[in-house]
Amino acid sequence: MESLNPEVFSFKNITKTFASVLANHEVSFSVAEGTIHGVVGENGAGKSTIMKILYGMFEPDSGTIHFQGKPRSIPDPQTAISLGIGMVHQHFMLVPTLTVWENIILGKEPSKWLLDKASILKQLKSLKTKFGFQVDLEAKIESLSVGHQQQVEILKLLYRKANILILDEPTAVLSPQEVESLFEKLKLLKKAHKTIVIITHKLKEILSFTDSVTVMRQGKAIETLPTSSLTEDSLAEKIIGRKRIPLNFEKSGFEPEPVLKVASLSLSEAHNSILRHISFEINRGEIVGIAGIEGNGQHELIEVLAGVEKNYSGTVILNQENIKELSAYDLKQKGFSLIPPDRHLEGVILPFSLAENAILGHHRDPQIKSGPFLSSTKITQLASQLIQSFDIRPGEPSQSIAGLSGGNQQKLVVARETAREVSFLLAAHPTRGIDIGAIDFIHQYFLKLKAQGTAMLLISSELEEILKLSDRILVLYRGEIVAQVLKNEATEKDLGLWMTGGSKK
């Protein structure tokens, strides 16, 4: 289709399964040389898998890769590197204790023996200036910002003379400015005839920066087409595979009765101030959203509100009670509920059964005890209720929760956290990485809770989610609340500006 540029590689009917889960099914598409090519799709659509196959990290079950017109097997990353293919992973693959230059040459050192530091630095410096990178070659990785670490990753590929650069969700952790500067560099690279493949689920970036797009859905490559032929709506529709049912959002008002009062909350860690004078209130039946790029103090705010971080100044009052004296467990018994940011890390305990997971956070409750012992009948009963009311499948209480899909695991978390009277729900990234069905279910459920009078703080990296649910939006930037708007006053553009430290004109 891109008649000007020759094809550099293509997939022909690639199929890959992981332990009976179909990750890629008969995937075929091609990428033209010297273009920026987007691979889009929802989480779990198989985007990363197919590119990792190209990079030699996975071997396909069937199908072939054609490289510069010829079929080619790529059994390991080393082969990929020798073909000029490089990949920047979603989680950066750098050694934190080593310096930038050491990380760049790692695995492709000029000599296995004595390293001539001066000549290496000279070579890297010229590479750096050629593509406009600004990063201190002698700094240790652990001291660098995320944006700079990403530069190191890209430099590493260029040092290896990569001609095809695969970037897996490169903008997930970047501020809009950093995104801007990243794509400027990518354009320079494109000019130097490098091919760039970007795996993402962000429509805007695709539309404004790529030349062509492959849409993936449920492990299949649905379509590959030039970006110019797409609009945001048409692309979204292709990704989801159906039109989304708009959320039944009746803006029911809330009662001006504060449930949570945060006053002048500050927190410092190792002389860095992480949270600065944060003050806000949440009323009964109100949903307050916190917009912000990850790493601007969200994590610490969650820790303070959840009662696990106590070294803060200022006050947090929940239902007229100062939470400083309450342990995380007591807090949960007083009407506080938490949907933690990372399901596997904080939400569920994978080797435990559904029933055991259902009592987490309320495991000292006398209601599930008989005498000094936990009563397994009562626990099973409780779990069955949650399973039924949230339609969790498969719903056997004694089964390990590891066997459930992400969406069903998250449903159990939501069910557990809202099984009791909830006066304040802190929902952090409640729909991250789960299927659309479960997302809609959880969103509807939140509105139901709101109608029942639950006050809610929604922390999410998806602006869309925040805009959809919140009555009021606070913007968190570098540990400070830099803006506060009501739902109907907020535009995505303003929020984006505030999130990155800009001020509204």
Partner 1 sequence: MIEILSSTLRLATPLIFAAMGGFLCERSGIATICLEGVLLTSAWAGATVTYYTNPYLGVLAAIIVGAMTMALHALLTVKAKADQIISGVAVNLFAAGITPILTKLLFGSSTNTESIPLHARLYSPVLTLLAFLLPFLIHFVTYRTGWGLRLLACGDGPEALKTSGVSPAKVRYWALSIAGAIIGFGGVYLSTAHASQFTRDMTAGRGFIALTALIFGKWRPLPAFIACLFFGFTDALQIQLQSSPLLGNTFPVQALQIFPYLITLLVLVGFIGSAKPPLAIGKVE
Partner 2 sequence: MKPHFFKKYFAGPLIAVLISACLTTALLICLGENPSILWEAFTSTFFNGFGLGYTLYYTTPLIFTGLSVALCFHAGLFNIGAEGQLHLGAAGIIALSLFFPGLPWYFSIPLGVIASMLTGGLWGLIAGFLKAKRGSHEVIVTILLNFIGITFVNYLILYPFKNTQVQNPETLEIGQSYFLSPLSDFTAYLGSELFRTTPVNVTLFLSLFAALICYLFLFHTARGYEIRALGQNPSAARFNGISASTNTLLVFTLAGALSGLVGINEVMGFQHKLIEGFSPQYGFTGIAVALMARNHPLGVILAALLFGSIHNGAREIEFLSEKITKEISIVMEAILIIIIAGQGYFSSLVYRLFKRDCHD
Residues that bind partner 1 (CB under 8 A): 76-78, 81, 87, 89, 93-98, 102-103, 105-115, 156
Minimum CB distance to partner 1, residue 143 (Å):
15
Number of residues that bind partner 2 (CB under 8 A): 31
Considering only 350, 436, 463, 467, the residue that binds partner 2 (CB under 8 A) is 350
Q: Of 291, 283, 267, 282, which is closest to residue 481 (Cα–Cα)?
A: 291
Considering only 44, 170, 285, 307, the residue that binds partner 2 (CB under 8 A) is 307
- 193 binds partner 2, rule: CB under 8 A: no
Q: Are 54 and 80 in contact, with CB atoms under 8 Å apart?
A: yes
Indicate the residue among 73 and 398 with the shorter CB distance to partner 2: 398
- 334 binds partner 2, rule: CB under 8 A: no
- 348 binds partner 2, rule: CB under 8 A: yes
Indicate the residue among 115 and 350 with the shorter CB distance to partner 1: 115
Residue indicated by tokens 């978390």: 413
Residue 94 partner contact from partner 1, partner 2, none using kind-dependent CB cut-offs of 5 to 8 Å: partner 1
Q: Of 414, 438, 423, which is closest to residue 358 (Cα–Cα)?
A: 414
Q: Are 367 and 378 in contact, with CB atoms under 8 Å apart?
A: yes
- 419 binds partner 2, rule: CB under 8 A: no
Binding mask 364-403 for partner 2 (x = CB under 8 A): x----x--xxx-x---------------------------
Amino acid making up residue 388: Q
DSSP string for 264-311: EEEEEETTEEEEEEEEEEEEET-EEEEE--TTSSHHHHHHHHTTS---
Considering only 225, 349, 436, 467, the residue that binds partner 2 (CB under 8 A) is 349
Considering only 32, 81, 291, 338, the residue that binds partner 2 (CB under 8 A) is 338
140: exposed, middle or buried (Cβ count in 10 Å: 0-12, 13-18, 19+): middle
Spatial neighbors of 83 by CB under 8 A, at least 6 apart, are 67, 72, 74, 164
- 360 binds partner 2, rule: CB under 8 A: yes
Q: Of 220, 194, 196, 224, which is closest to residue 210 (Cα–Cα)?
A: 196
Per this entry, what is the length of the chain?
505
Minimum CB distance to partner 1, residue 118 (Å):
13
Indicate the residue among 99 and 381 with the shorter CB distance to partner 1: 99
Considering only 41, 289, 292, 347, the residue that binds partner 2 (CB under 8 A) is 347
What are 98's two structure tokens?
């080593």
Question: Alpha carbon 207 to chain centroid distance?
Answer: 20
Indicate the residue among 106 and 467 with the shorter CB distance to partner 1: 106
Residue 407 partner contact from partner 2, partner 1, none using kind-dependent CB cut-offs of 5 to 8 Å: none
Distance CA 447, CA 213 (A): 35
Per DSSP, the three-state class of 313 is strand
Indicate the residue among 158 and 331 with the shorter CB distance to partner 2: 331
216-225 b/e (C-beta count within 10 Å ≥ 16 → b):
bbebbbbebb
Minimum CB distance to partner 2, residue 350 (Å):
7
Segment lying near partner 2 (by CB under 8 A), choices 19-27, 98-106, 290-298, 325-333: 325-333
Segment lying near partner 2 (by CB under 8 A), choices 62-70, 150-158, 238-246, 350-358: 350-358
